[in-house]
Chains A and B, each alone.
Chain A
Amino acid sequence: MFKERQKDSELTMGKFLKNFGLGLVYIIFLPLLLAILVLFGVYGIGVCIIEFFAGTIRFFQGKEPFPPLWEDAKVAEIKQAQMEAQLGTPAPVAPSPANPAGPSTVYVQQNYYNGQHPANGSTPTPSPAPMPIESDAYFHDQRPQPPLIDVTGQANPALNQPSAPQIPANPPSNNSLAGYIDISSNDPKGGSNS
């Protein structure tokens, strides 16, 4: 490998003549090459002007100035499908909101209680109870709970929400059932009792 490179870097008579001949060829074809370069330069300026105006028009239409070509989009789609096929997850359905959120969208948060509606005074129809899954992986029932009496004097009512029951780290031993179930009689391997 090293010897080949060394051989390539050596200046031989053949290379000398080849460079000489190439120089002659380039001298002969120089006007033609320059003419081609100039033609491509003029054509390139035209291409740039067209691309500039096309991108500007798309930009002012609210679109991306240079969106990806459909071939590239198709490749991205195939790659995504391949990745999902390898992971074994179904392809997600592309969300198509009827009214997508934009700068003109106004969010109204309802801060009143589930009682009378302030606008028309009527009682709203109860919506079906949601089934939220919290970040602690527990299901929290948010349906109306019986009223609690705050005896701690805390101002924040959120602190008084009932929490999920804690699962003890060490399950109770079987010894607690020893008084109710005869384990030794059903255990084919035999229990501790004789």
Chain B
Amino acid sequence: MDANAMSMTFVVLFLPFVAALVAPWLTRHLKHNAAWVLALAPLAIFMHFLGFSAEIGRGEIVTGGYQWVPAFNVNFSWLIDGLSLTFALLISGIGALIVLYSGGYMKGHPQQGRFLAYILLFMGAMLGLVVSDSFMMLFVFWELTSITSFLLIGFDNRREASRRAALQALVVTGGGGLALLAGLLMIWNITGVSEVSLLLRFGEELRDSPYYLAVLILVLGGAFTKSAQFPLHFWLPNAMEAPTPVSAYLHSATMVKAGVYLLMRFNPVLGDTPAWETILPLFGGATLIVGTLLAIRQTDLKLMLAYTTVSSLGLLVMLTGFGSEQAVKAAVLYLVAHSLFKGALFMVAGTIDHEAGTRDVRKLGGLMKAMPITFVSALVAAVSMGGLPPMFGFLAKEEVYYALWASDPWALTFTLVAVIGNALMFVIGFAVALKPFLGAPVETPKHAHEGPVLLWLGPVILGAVGLAAALFSAVTHHFVSSPMASAVAGRPEEVTITLIPSIGMPLALSVVTVALGIVFYLRLEQLRLAMAGLLRTIGWGPDQGFDQMMRGIVRFSMAVTRIIQPGRLQTYMMVTFILIAVALMVPMFVYGELPGWPDFAASDATFYELAVIAIAVIGLVAVIIARDRLTAIVSLGIQGFAVAMIFMLFGAPDLSFTQFMVETLSVVILALVMTRLKLSSPDHRPRAEMVATSLVAGVCGLGFTLYLLRVTEGVMDLSLSVFFAEFSKPIAHGANIVNVILVDYRGTDTLGEIGVVVVAGLAILALIRIRLRDTGVTDTVQSTPVDDAPRPLAEPAPAMEKA
């Protein structure tokens, strides 16, 4: 890839984000017509990626990128092959139509600019995801799609239902993203490469690794949550709370296909194992059947489509994991077909809702006259969804039956699953496309008429593309299907299927599907009632399960918080000091590192040094026997001053200087705290508590003494002291080593510390103010032992050790 094309791709990847930035501004000035301008961004992206199709059609792949964090071998690199090119074209192409559609659908909405910005942000995330080569980039964009979809689903944030749906989608897909991250890191660890394009050579190694199953489960955790596989499918129908353009974009062509994309991407390296070929078809097949059955139950157009999306995703997962080249080809064709017809149908559902004022299929009818263009585009999409010629959906369904049909029981089971699933999807497709339009006109909440061009342009274009792709199937296969199938299979594949069916089992199965579909369609009402009855009998679903889980998490965290954060300072101090005592004493005993008895006789302490030590001891004894708190505080000050004197005598003037000041201020502040909190002067705690605290304090003190003795027994390594003494003046221009270390050698540390000091000051001030405002607390705090710790407010202490 030449440098020019490389920087162009880089720019293109960021184009949606730039467009999102200007979207609110443009919308303020151009109103809903801003959509025409904003749609140029996805269009430009589409054209850029179309430029790659010649190379991709020849079976080449294009990679490029820049270093991101070279120290960790993390790159911003992309990989464009058949798979990512098809996805990129779908994302940008349908994205352009969705932006236009949003312009019409959200016309006059006060937050239209914000909505368009979110859509474009999502587009950028999705585009980044499918072209990512490096694992980290893949993961970042993966989570970015979760976050932007959270914004989109919760767009109508005044309604509780949409807030819940948004949160649910975020928890499920974001959680799956974390599993994916773990899986990617494991792959990185096993193979040593962090790029998808390099990974292809390591398939053997990965499959033979003892961690293969763990990797597989983690990656599937990401894919199954994103692609709404049973039993994690519940978030997708709930996400229908979002405005319809979101559903048409995220929940048909893009977001939910990310999971399928991931599976297809890793098929060459993770696939072709018994685990892969068991788990995927089973989950996919179950999702296919459950999705269609639940779709039958619905009467809301959007929900019907949402559940069939769940089942289509199931079919895709099933095919991806089936293990034959035929299945891969079928998955590729079905993915493209589904993106086209499902996007169109969602947009149609939105247009009906927008123009007629309801989405309930029972309250709609006879709209054909009023909305002819919408009706035709809905019909075209439904024909594709039902797998009838001459649409692209027909090719996909034929290929599906080619792939599945075989005579062993495993294949027969899945053929049966596919036939039933397809028949039911046929039913839903035509229910959405026919029921609102045919029959006698019904009184609708709004007087229905054809929507503006912005609303019908999208479905019409998608329908036309679906038709053209099937009619010129050789071109489609050359540029799209074959390269994509090759990328998924990991070796060159050729897709050849055309509209002219060959007589054989697949065609027979198609006929059975259509026949079944017509039967079901005629009995849709009975089926719906039967399903509703069945669901009532079961009475529980994963959706309720989600709520129960969330409540459980909240209860659990509250219980844990109650234990570890009881809110009593005394408990915190006690736990802290017990841990200090344990940390000091246990290692010394376990590793036999106790110090020997110090040789007092050999010490050459002078009388004034001994006098200072005596003062310190007297201060200490006074603290312990002091009857009231003020005396104790002052005695503590005496002891601290004596220590400062010792520092002075042993040649640490800086340390001693600081110690003096800290001690003075500690005494002043502690005395102030006492008067401020109106603490009673004598200390009246129960005897048992006194014994316990003195025991802990004693062990801490003893531990420190032993520790210091042990340390001084060893040989001091003076190399650092020598280094500082030697270089502090010549390279840091300062003779005071302590100060030079503080502000120069370790200046960044000090910067962090003064940050902590400011934050601590803010916190203390806030605490004092809370007390001032809420005088009622004063009496209750009186009995709580805020003052029991020797220096609860000596906040200079952390910095003291530095100075």
**Does B bind A?**
no
